[in-house]
Amino acid sequence: MPVERLPVSPQKAATGGQPKTQDLTPKTDEFWMEEALRCAQRGLEAGEVPVGAVVVCDGRIVGRGWNRNLTDSDPTAHAEIVALREAGAAVGNHRLEDCELFATIEPCAMCAGAMVHARIRRLVYGADDPKAGAVHSVMAVLNHPQLNHRIEVRSGVLAGRSAEVLQSFFRNRR
Ligand SMILES: [Zn+2]
């Protein structure tokens, strides 16, 4: 191998002579939840109920979503559904077995059902939704004893901020 013919100057190496490597240090749940909160903020700016979600696969985001019900006149356009659609397209598979979903609020029955269809491996969410939550608050669509697929769940991550975004939205509407 002609090593002597690869004269990489120190300056070139420092200014992009090498491909930018991906930062593969494991991220915390809180890190991804910050991304989901940013999505919720995008929803808020669009006048939507501010809920956000991201789908993470192999340490990177493959889907982002915020509510688009009003924007798209679409009753199914919840943050989680939007993020799952984007993730499926990005991964090239309707099964997302290696993926985790981060949502600011406990998913509803529709979104929990979609996660089961997608075979999502793990769900992390912020605040409980006592009105529509389908992980445990109102019903248990996720990990229903008669469904085969099991999803690991962690709740309460950045819950205070997730709830606050939502509550201030409804306060301001009154
Ligand atoms: Zn939903």
CA angle 164, 29, 123 (to 5 degrees): 85
> What share of the chain in percent tops pLDDT 70?
86
CA–CA separation, 65 and 37 (whole Å): 10
- CA 75 to ligand 1 center in whole angstroms: 10
CA of 55 to the centre of ligand 1 (A): 14
Q: Is residue 17 pLDDT above 80, yes or no?
A: no
Dist. CA 124 → ligand 1 center (Å) = 14
DSSP-assigned beta bridge partners for residue 63? 55
Averaged confidence pLDDT in the chain? 90
pLDDT, tens digit, 9 for 90 and up, residues 52-110: 999 999 999 999 999 999 999 999 999 999 999 999 999 999 999 999 999 999 999 99
Instruction: Give the per-residue pLDDT at 18.
Output: 53
Pairing of the two strands 152-154 and 122-127: parallel
Which residues lie below 8 Å from residue 34, measured CB to CB, with a gap of 6+?
158
